[in-house]
């Protein structure tokens, strides 16, 4: 009997027999011998190159040569779906068609902002563990504002550095996939990240990688002294070419025919009436008549910053020889593309500007994937694409389709709360600070006046629930004692609260409302699906089965899945699951 038939016959017969009854003691030795013989034949079968089902991977022990992690800042899943038919063949569509794509993937925590979302991607952890609870927060002890990646002991290399600038991952409390890979390979694997925002690069790089970020004043990409004393030669050569200057005098005009944008919101709904010039075509110049800080600071609100970011990523692949590691171990390239977030903040995801920007980003990704295919080979490369958060529509658009949407004033809300608490407890300023979405209570004053902390917390929470645009509020006592409701909302906000860094009362806005100091545009940060539902695609033929997957997934699942495939320890705070349904 041929080996393949013999193996199949035995397995089928054995499965049938197992379902009926256990093996008898007398039958066990003979069956055991037959099983071992068939398993040996099966093993031999799988070692024969002529019978291999998949093209063999050229990386060491079936591992990739390069892992590329792409994070599109501020990209909601619905935009990918809505504009899919207009994408070219090589960018988003290539990823969706050739990769494993989850339609129900989420940034599954309650504060959906850039720093928190980027921290999730390669840690697999929630904020209550990784410690990055926002882009900024108030230190409960000093009452000073803290920026997520600030570190006053380090500076940018060759660039002006302010005290609150992002220069290191000092505030990140857990390891990343890159950290674990570097540890497992004796630091032979290289981990390089680049972004238009410091937090986008630093929080992907982790503690042991190397981050480069865009400098708004000069248009350069720079690292910091946390990573090195001076830039390597390839970076110096890249900067000497001044690639950021090539967009001076260019205009950003719609890429597609006018009919392609017919379903978008009218400009009148999304453009600030005080800035009527902020519409197509956008011009990139400066008053000086030459590239300067005014010009460089305009580039984030354009397709050009993403083009520069991907250009720098190519330079990193060449300069660091990523994917060609002489030790035969995988390298990691993290690329965070920042411009879509700037465009969506300014005009909303329903705007022509956002629509066109995504089409242009699609073409940029196509070129970059083609480059990787030629340089490293996509069969040697794992590609992951996701986003740090989604986006709501601008309130004016939401109101036009009969949604209850508004911008909220956090400062005014704090004033109202303090007046209420003063009237109730006879003491002013019991609430000391507002840091969206947290309120810090003055516990020292509460204790001094002989008040009970829990009573003040509860009174504050109940009052805040009566404020316009507020759906719910939760107290420190509830968080510490696990007393939040067992709902999706309760789970997401519990994950977002960190005992040492978060405030004493957390508020949740009603859907489509958000806190803002601006009178136009939109913002994100809520636990609602328009902010949490983001793309999650993993592509790499030797490892992933292509297809559209409807199973629930989280961005936190990326790190444990990659750890499994790379055969390294999962990051220290990882709580996601291995996405076994997509694995070959």
- Is the domain of 237 the same as that of 383? yes
Does residue 396 belong to any structural domain of this protein?
no
Mark whether 320 and 465 lie in a shared domain: no
Q: 114 an active-site residue? A: yes
CB 100 within 8 A of CB 385: no
Of residues 463 and 3, more confidence is placed in 463
CATH number for position 361:
3.40.720.10
Confidence of residue 60 (pLDDT cuts 50, 70, 90): low
Beta-carbon contacts of 387 under 8 Å, excluding residues fewer than 6 positions away, are 71, 72, 73, 74, 75, 76, 77, 107, 117, 534, 535
In this structure, the answer to whether residues 349 and 323 fall within a common structural domain is yes
Let me know whether 76 and 182 are in one domain: yes
Is the overall model pTM greater than 0.85, yes or no? yes
Nearest to 542 by CA among 55, 60, 94, 96: 55
Confidence of residue 5 (pLDDT cuts 50, 70, 90): very low
d(CA 11, CA 5): 10
User: What is the per-residue pLDDT for 277?
Assistant: 83
Catalytic residue, candidates 112, 114, 123, 509: 114
- Residue 278 — pLDDT band, cuts 50, 70, 90? confident
| Whether residue 186 is found in the same domain as residue 295 | yes
- Give CA–CA dist 477/488, Å, rounded: 20
Task: Flag whether 401 is in a domain.
Answer: no
User: Domain range spanning residue 13?
Assistant: 3-51
Tens of pLDDT, residues 135-154: 999 999 999 999 999 999 99
Domain tally, the chain: 3
The whole-number pLDDT of residue 50 equals: 35
Q: By percentage, how much of the chain surpasses pLDDT 90?
A: 88
The answer to whether residue 397 sits within a structural domain is no
CATH number, position 490: 3.30.1360.150
Instruction: Please give the pLDDT value at position 61.
Output: 60
Angle at which helices 177-184 and 558-566 pack, to 10 degrees?
20
- 19 and 123 share one domain: no
Confidence of residue 488 (pLDDT cuts 50, 70, 90): very high
C-beta contacts of 318-323 below 8 A and 24+ residues apart? 318/234, 318/375, 319/232, 319/233, 319/234, 319/235, 319/238, 320/190, 320/192, 320/232, 320/234, 322/66, 322/190, 322/192, 322/376, 323/65, 323/66, 323/375, 323/376, 323/380, 323/381
Tens of pLDDT, residue by residue over 128-139, are 999 999 999 999
Question: pLDDT tens for residues 372-399?
Answer: 999 999 999 999 999 999 999 999 999 9
Band (pLDDT 50/70/90 cuts) for residue 276 is confident
pLDDT at 20: 35
- Within a domain: 505: yes
Asked if residue 400 belongs to a domain, the reply is no
Q: Are residue 354 and residue 492 in the same domain, yes or no?
A: no
Is position 395 within any domain? no
State how far the Cα of 136 lies from the Cα of 149, in Å rounded to an integer: 9
Same domain as 15, residue 110: no
Residues 459 and 367 grouped into a single domain: no
Same domain, 386 and 356: yes
**Residue 266 and residue 119 share a domain:** yes
DSSP notation for 486-544: SSHHHHHHHHH--TTTS-SEEEEEPTT-EE-SSSSS-----SSHHHHB--EEEE-TTTB
| CA atoms of 421 and 430, how far apart (whole Å) | 7
pLDDT in tens, 202-246: 999 999 999 999 999 999 999 999 999 999 999 999 999 999 999
* Distance separating alpha carbons of residues 266 and 282, to the nearest angstrom: 17
Q: Does residue 206 share a domain with residue 111?
A: yes
525: in domain? no
What mean pLDDT comes out for the span 524-541?
98
Domain membership of residue 431 (yes or no) is yes
pLDDT band, very low/low/confident/very high, at 57 (cuts 50, 70, 90):
very low
């Amino acid at each position: 009997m041929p080996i393949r038939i013999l193996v199949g016959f035995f397995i089928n017969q054995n499965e049938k027999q197992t379902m009926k009854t256990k093996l008898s003691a007398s039958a066990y030795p003979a069956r055991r011998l037959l099983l071992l013989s068939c398993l040996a034949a099966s093993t031999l079968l799988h070692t024969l190159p002529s019978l291999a089902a998949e093209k063999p991977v050229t990386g060491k022990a079936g591992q990739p040569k390069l892992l590329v992690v792409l994070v599109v800042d501020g990209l909601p899943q619905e935009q990918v779906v809505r504009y899919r038919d207009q994408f070219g063949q090589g960018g988003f569509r290539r990823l969706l068609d050739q990769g494993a794509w989850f339609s129900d993937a989420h940034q599954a925590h309650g504060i959906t902002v850039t720093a928190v979302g980027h921290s999730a991607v390669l840690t697999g952890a929630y904020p209550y563990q990784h410690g990055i609870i926002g882009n900024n927060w108030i230190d409960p002890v000093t009452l000073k504002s803290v920026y997520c990646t600030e570190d006053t002991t380090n500076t940018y290399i060759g660039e002006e550095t302010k005290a609150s600038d992002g220069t290191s991952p000092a505030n990140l409390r857990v390891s990343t996939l890159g950290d674990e890979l570097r540890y497992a390979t004796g630091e032979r694997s290289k981990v390089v990240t680049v972004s238009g925002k410091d937090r986008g690069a630093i929080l992907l790089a982790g503690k042991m990688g190397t981050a480069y970020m865009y400098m708004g004043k000069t248009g350069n990409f720079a690292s910091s002294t946390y990573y090195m004393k001076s830039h390597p030669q390839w970076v110096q050569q890249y900067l000497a070419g001044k690639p950021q200057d090539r967009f001076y005098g260019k205009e950003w005009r719609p890429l597609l025919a006018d009919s392609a944008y017919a379903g978008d919101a009218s400009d009148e709904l999304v453009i600030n009436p005080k800035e009527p010039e902020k519409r197509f075509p956008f011009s990139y110049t400066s008053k000086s008549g030459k590239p300067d800080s005014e010009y460089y600071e305009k580039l984030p609100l354009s397709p050009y910053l993403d083009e520069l970011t991907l250009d720098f990523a190519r330079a990193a692949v060449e300069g660091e020889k990523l994917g060609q590691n002489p030790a035969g171990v995988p390298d990691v390239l993290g690329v965070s593309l920042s411009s879509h977030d700037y465009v969506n903040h300014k005009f909303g995801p329903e705007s022509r500007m956002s629509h066109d920007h995504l089409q242009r980003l699609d073409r940029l990704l196509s070129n970059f994937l083609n480059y990787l295919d030629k340089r490293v080979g996509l069969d040697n490369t794992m590609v992951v694409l996701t986003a740090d958060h989604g986006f709501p529509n601008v309130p004016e658009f939401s109101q036009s389709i009969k949604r209850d949407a508004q911008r909220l004033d956090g400062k005014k809300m704090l004033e109202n709360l303090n007046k209420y608490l003063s009237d109730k407890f006879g003491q002013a300023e019991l609430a000391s600070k507002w840091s969206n979405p947290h309120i810090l209570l003055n516990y020292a004053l509460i204790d001094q006046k002989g008040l009970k902390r829990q009573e003040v917390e509860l009174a504050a929470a109940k009052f805040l629930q009566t404020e316009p645009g507020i759906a719910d509020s939760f107290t420190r006592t509830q968080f510490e004692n696990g007393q939040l409701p067992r709902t999706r909302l309760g789970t997401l906000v519990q994950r977002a609260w960190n005992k040492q860094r978060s405030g004493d009362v957390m508020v949740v806005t009603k859907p489509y409302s958000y806190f803002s100091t601006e009178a136009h545009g939109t913002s994100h940060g809520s636990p609602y699906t328009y902010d949490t539902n983001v793309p999650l695609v993993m592509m790499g033929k030797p490892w992933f089965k292509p297809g559209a997957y409807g199973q629930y997934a989280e961005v936190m699942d990326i790190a444990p899945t990659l750890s499994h495939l790379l055969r390294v320890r999962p990051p220290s705070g990882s709580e996601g699951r291995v996405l076994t349904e997509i694995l070959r």
